[in-house]
C-alpha cells in the first residue's frame, strides 16, 4: 500500500509540475520525508524520478534539433562534475543544515514562480559565465538532492539569456546533474529498487500527461501559483520543524 501511495503522489506531482514546466523533485523530496522516508533516501528517489522524466524531454529536443550545444555543454559538463561533489559533501554536513538550505530553496523557487518579472540584471553571454553557473548550481543541486532546474531557470533569465533557449537547455542539462548525484547517493545508502521503479514509472507517465495537458491553453500563471502555494506550504512545514 505504501508503494501505491508514493507512486500516486509522484504521479500527481509530475502532472502538476510538468504543466508548469518544472521538475517535481523539489516537492516530492520533502513530502516523502514527511511520510517517514529518510531525508537522504528521499533525495535519491527524487533525483531518480526527475532524471527519468527529463531524459525523455532531452531526447525529444535532440531529435527536433533544437538543442544549442555550444550553450548547454559548458553547463552540463560542470553540473556532471560538481553535482556528485555536492551529493558526496552532504555526508559530512549536518542534516539539519541541509534541510535548512533546502527550505530556503523552496522559498526561493516559490517566490520566483509568483513574483519574478523576468528582469535582466546582467547581460552575460560568455562561456566562462556558463561554466561558473554550471559549477555553482551543480554543487548546490547535488547537496540538496534536486536536479537544479528550479535554480537554473531564474538564474539564467537574470543573466539575460532567452527564455526559450533556457527552457531547452535546462531539460538537457538536468539529467546530467540528477544522474550524477543519484549515483553518488546510491554508492553510500541502501535503496529500495522496487520503490524507485514505481516512482520512476509514475513520474514518466505523470510528466507525459502534464506535457500533453499543457497544450490545451491552460493558464500557466494559475498553474504556477498553485505550484508556488504548494512549495510555500512545504517550506513552512520545514520551518515549523526548526522552530518547534
CA distances from 32 to 80, 116, 164, 185, 186 (A): 25, 28, 32, 16, 17
Q: Can you give the pLDDT at residue 123?
A: 63
Residue partners of 94: CB distance under 8 A and separation at least 6 = none
Among the residue ranges 144-158, 182-196, 210-224, the one predicted with the least confidence is 210-224
Question: What rounded mean pLDDT belongs to the chain?
Answer: 87
As a whole number of Å, the end-to-end CA separation of the chain is: 31
**Contact present, 10 and 28 (Cβ < 8 Å):** yes
* CB-count burial class (<10 Å; 0-12, 13-18, 19+) for 216: exposed
Res. 86: pLDDT tops 90: yes
- pLDDT single digits (tens) 53-63: 777 777 777 88
Beta strands in 8-97 (DSSP E): none
Mean pLDDT of 233-243: 92
Among the residue ranges 57-61, 151-155, 216-220, the one predicted with the least confidence is 216-220
Residue partners of 219: CB distance under 8 A and separation at least 6 = none
Q: Can you give the pLDDT at residue 36?
A: 94
pTM of the model: 0.89
* Confidence category of residue 82, pLDDT binned at 50, 70, 90: very high
Q: Can you give the pLDDT at residue 13?
A: 92
Mean pLDDT of 235-239: 94
SS3 of residue 244 by DSSP = coil
Amino acid at each position: 500500500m505504501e508503494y501505491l501511495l508514493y507512486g500516486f503522489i509522484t504521479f500527481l506531482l509530475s502532472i502538476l509540475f510538468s504543466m508548469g514546466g518544472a521538475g517535481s523533485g523539489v516537492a516530492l523530496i520533502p513530502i516523502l520525508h514527511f511520510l517517514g522516508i529518510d531525508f537522504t533516501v528521499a533525495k535519491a528517489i527524487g533525483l531518480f524520478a526527475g532524471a527519468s522524466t527529463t531524459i525523455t524531454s532531452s531526447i525529444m529536443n535532440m531529435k527536433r534539433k533544437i538543442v544549442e550545444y555550444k550553450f548547454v555543454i559548458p553547463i552540463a559538463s560542470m553540473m556532471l562534475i560538481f553535482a556528485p561533489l555536492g551529493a558526496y559533501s552532504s555526508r559530512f554536513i549536518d542534516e539539519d543544515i541541509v534541510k535548512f538550505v533546502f527550505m530556503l530553496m523552496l522559498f526561493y523557487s516559490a517566490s520566483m514562480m509568483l513574483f519574478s518579472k523576468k528582469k535582466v540584471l546582467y547581460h552575460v553571454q560568455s562561456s566562462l559565465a556558463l561554466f561558473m553557473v554550471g559549477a555553482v548550481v551543480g554543487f548546490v543541486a547535488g547537496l540538496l538532492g534536486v536536479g537544479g532546474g528550479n535554480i537554473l531557470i531564474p538564474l539564467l533569465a537574470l543573466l539575460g539569456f532567452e527564455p526559450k533557449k533556457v527552457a531547452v537547455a535546462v531539460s538537457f542539462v538536468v539529467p546530467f546533474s540528477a544522474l550524477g548525484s543519484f549515483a553518488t547517493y546510491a554508492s553510500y545508502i541502501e535503496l529500495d529498487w522496487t520503490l524507485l521503479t514505481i516512482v520512476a514509472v509514475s513520474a514518466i507517465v505523470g510528466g507525459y500527461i502534464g506535457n500533453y495537458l499543457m497544450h490545451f491553453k491552460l493558464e500557466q500563471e494559475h498553474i504556477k501559483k498553485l505550484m508556488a502555494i504548494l512549495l510555500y506550504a512545504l517550506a513552512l512545514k520545514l520551518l515549523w520543524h526548526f522552530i518547534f
